[in-house]
């Protein structure tokens, strides 16, 4: 999602209030996680919460997973500065859920067990396909983690008034340690409850600010828009028209098309979103959870429209763009303008708690993929005598991933992290989604096609982003002072997604092997749920 960078020079910010609200959140959620750990005994409990969550509960947790602080701060800021073009981000993020609902959620729940690798390996050679699926999952999760960790360090250090590198590094380390505790102790059940609490706080906070902003303008949205136009000055009308950000050149239009394609198709391939479909007892509940997620996420993005224009009207695009964090400071600055340091502290603490919850979800997804796909099915060839051994490996992996994320976040703390998030979406859309769709719907699809699609999509996406303006050769590039970019678009989705579909088709056609009987079995199971994993008894 959009970059979570510096969150502003917030005069009047009260570090004591900020940290008190955040500590209260951590204490409450740790109590919840400890309670959840009492029933985390089996692999199904650890990976899929015993498949015991209802559709509405899982839908709230999915919205918590999806609405990261990067999305919250970034979209509000984009609308405040670019108006119509900024709101297109929200539309892309929301429309993506229709792909998940119509093509992925129910079929995935019926066919899989714990990870994306289960679905792909159902009708193909186990070891190479699981290794590829785990590689893709770890790549997406790592870059998402890196961006969130770096963003957390920047956000909290500014809110608490910490500026020296050692202090920022310490903040990132604390975030990582708390996240590791969530995952180690509570597993998926504890992580899900953290997501539910966080989603409730985030949506409640956004709703309160939305009503507050509308009340300032007599609950007249037209008056709010006029206020934003007036505050922006001579060129204020551009906030209501297309083209403020993506209308200046053909390249920028193509860049938006590429980004939109990655957003719409990437969501249905994000591993930490896909894994949530396994936490419900039936495919019907999987569908209900996506419907709930669509409702809550759509509602939140409507709030973001009001908040974005509210920030433009009450704070002003010029003030926002000159703040240290530019567009990402819009939501905190609006909170400060509305309710002073108390509301600012609440919104900032919720934004940070959001990062914490998203990071925990990513970590358990990555650790489950390694333990279940690599350890249990590639190294042990599916013959794990001690079922607790797999969970132990997952917990050890969570610690390792957490440590790597802490180190990576510290190293990237001063870098532009937008390209990391773009890479996560590009990889998910390029490597994961084509392979999932082919596996579920194409009878001839085979192991060679899956490997070509996953590794080809992953490789092309990474290659194009490394040589894109997101990394070098532009004002906002990650590496300043160097220029080795030759690919003109910041997001590679327009090229890498079709290429992945093509490579999957080409590999399948050239190899010729396929198992029609296994596909027929998978089709029946995916559509009816016959033989799917059931909820555990406790």
DSSP assignment of 304-338, as one string? HHHHHHHHHHHT-HHHHHHSTTGGGGHHHHHHHHH
- Encode pLDDT of 203-254 as tens digits: 998 999 999 999 998 898 889 888 888 887 777 787 887 777 776 677 777 8
Q: What is the pLDDT of residue 408?
A: 77
Q: Would you kindly state where each structural domain of the chain is located, as residue ranges?
A: 1-315+340-415
Average pLDDT, the chain: 79
Of residues 447 and 283, more confidence is placed in 447
So what's the pLDDT on residue 227?
87
Encode burial over 392-411: b for 16+ CB neighbours within 10 A, e otherwise. ebbbebbeebbebbbbbbbe
Largest Cα span, the chain: 72
pLDDT in tens, 185-201: 777 777 788 888 888 88
Report the C-alpha gap between 428 and 263 in whole angstroms: 10
pLDDT at 352: 73
CA distance 365 to 398: 9
Tokens of 212: 């507050």
**Residue predicted with more confidence, 60 or 273:** 60
Query: How many Cβ atoms are within 10 Å of 336's Cβ, its own excluded?
Result: 23
pLDDT tens string 371-414 = 877 877 778 776 766 666 777 888 888 888 888 888 877 776 65
Report the alpha-carbon distance of residue 95 to residue 363 in Å, rounded. 26
* Plot region of 297 (φ>0 → left; ψ -120 to 50 → alpha; else → beta): alpha
CATH number (1.20.1250.20, 1.20.1730.10, 2.40.30.200, 3.40.50.2300) of 1-315+340-415 reads 1.20.1730.10
What pLDDT sits at residue 503? 95
Is pLDDT larger for residue 416 or for residue 306?
Answer: 306
Where is pLDDT greater, at 350 or 289? 289
């Amino acid at each position: 999602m959009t970059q979570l960078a510096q969150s502003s020079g917030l005069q009047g910010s009260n570090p004591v209030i900020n940290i008190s609200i955040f500590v209260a959140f951590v204490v409450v959620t740790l109590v919840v996680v400890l309670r959840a750990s009492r029933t985390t005994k089996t692999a199904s409990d650890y990976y899929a919460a015993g498949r015991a969550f209802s559709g509405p509960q899982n839908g709230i947790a999915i919205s918590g997973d999806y609405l990261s602080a990067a999305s919250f701060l970034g979209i509000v800021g984009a609308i405040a500065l670019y108006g119509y073009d900024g709101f297109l981000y929200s539309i892309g993020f929301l429309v993506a859920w229709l792909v998940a609902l119509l093509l992925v959620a129910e079929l995935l729940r019926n066919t899989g067990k714990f990870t994306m690798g289960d679905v792909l390996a159902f009708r193909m050679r186990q070891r190479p396909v699981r290794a590829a699926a785990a590689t893709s999952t770890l790549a997406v999760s790592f870059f998402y983690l890196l961006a969130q960790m770096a963003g957390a360090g920047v956000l909290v250090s500014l809110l608490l008034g910490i500026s020296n590198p050692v202090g920022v590094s310490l903040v990132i380390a604390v975030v990582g340690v708390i996240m590791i505790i969530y995952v180690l102790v509570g597993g998926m059940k504890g992580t899900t409850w953290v997501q539910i609490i966080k989603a409730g706080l985030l949506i409640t906070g956004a709703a309160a600010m939305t009503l507050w902003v509308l009340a300032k303008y007599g609950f007249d949205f037209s008056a709010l828009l006029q206020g934003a136009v007036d505050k922006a000055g001579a060129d204020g009308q551009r906030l209501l028209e297309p083209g403020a950000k993506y209308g200046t050149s053909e390249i920028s239009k193509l860049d938006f098309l590429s980004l939109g394609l990655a957003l719409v198709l990437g969501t249905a391939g994000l591993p930490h979103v896909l894994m949530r479909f396994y936490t419900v007892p039936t495919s019907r509940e999987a569908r209900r959870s996506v419907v709930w997620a669509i409702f809550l996420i759509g509602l939140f993005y409507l709030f973001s429209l009001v908040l974005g224009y509210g920030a433009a009207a009450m704070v002003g695009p010029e003030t926002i763009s000159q703040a240290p964090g530019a567009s990402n400071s819009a939501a905190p600055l609006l909170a400060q303008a509305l309710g002073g340091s108390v509301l600012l502290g609440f919104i900032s603490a919720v934004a940070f708690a959001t990062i914490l919850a998203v990071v925990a979800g990513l970590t358990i997804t990555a650790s489950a993929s390694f333990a279940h796909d690599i350890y249990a099915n590639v190294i042990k060839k599916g013959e794990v005598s001690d079922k607790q051994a797999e969970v132990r490996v997952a917990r050890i992996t969570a610690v390792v991933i957490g440590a790597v994320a802490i180190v990576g976040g510290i190293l990237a703390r001063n870098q532009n992290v937008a390209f990391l998030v773009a890479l996560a979406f590009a990889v998910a859309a390029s490597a994961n989604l084509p392979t999932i769709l082919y596996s579920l719907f194409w009878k001839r699809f085979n192991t060679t096609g899956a490997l070509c699609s996953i590794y080809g999509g992953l490789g092309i996406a990474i290659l194009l982003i490394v040589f894109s303006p997101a990394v070098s050769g532009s004002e906002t590039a990650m590496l300043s002072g160097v220029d080795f970019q030759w690919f003109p678009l910041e997001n590679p989705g327009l090229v890498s997604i079709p290429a992945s579909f093509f490579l999957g088709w080409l590999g399948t056609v050239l190899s010729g092997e396929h198992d029609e009987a296994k596909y027929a079995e998978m089709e029946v199971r995916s559509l009816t749920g016959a033989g799917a994993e059931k909820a555990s008894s406790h």
